[in-house]
Structure 1
Amino acid sequence: MEVRWDIFLIILGSALVTFLPRVLPLMVLSRMELPDWGIRWLNYVPISVMAALVGQELLLHDGQLAPLFTNLELMAAIPTFLVAIMTRSLLGTVVAGMISIMILRYFL
Structure 2
Amino acid sequence: MNDLTLWGLFVAVGIATLVLRLAFIEGHGRWSVPPLLQRALQYVPASVLAALVAPAVVLPPAGSDVLVDWPRLLAAVIAALMAWFFRNTLYSLLAGMGSLLAMQNLLPLWIG
TM-score by length of 2: 0.58
Q: Deviations over 1:26-45 (max 9, x none)?
A: 32652212222222222222
- The unaligned stretches of length 5 or more in structure 2 are 1-10
Which is higher, the Rg of structure 1 or of structure 2? 2
Q: Deviations over 1:16-72 (max 9, x none)?
A: 69x7488346326522122222222222222221211111221123399x723x342
CA distance in 2, matches of 1:27, 1:75: 44
Q: Which amino acid aligns with 1:86?
A: F
Counterpart position of 1:26: 24
Q: Deviations over 1:55-94 (max 9, x none)?
A: 1221123399x723x3421111111221222223344323
Identity %: 31
Count, aligned residues:
93
Q: Which amino acid aligns with 1:32?
A: W
Counterpart position of 1:42: 41
Counterpart position of 2:62: 62
* Bigger mean CA offset, 86-95 vs 31-40: 86-95
- SS of the residue corresponding to residue 51 of structure 1 reads helix
- The unaligned stretches of length 5 or more in structure 1 are 1-12
Superposition CA RMSD, Å:
3.5
Q: Deviations over 1:3-24 (max 9, x none)?
A: xxxxxxxxxx8xx69x748834
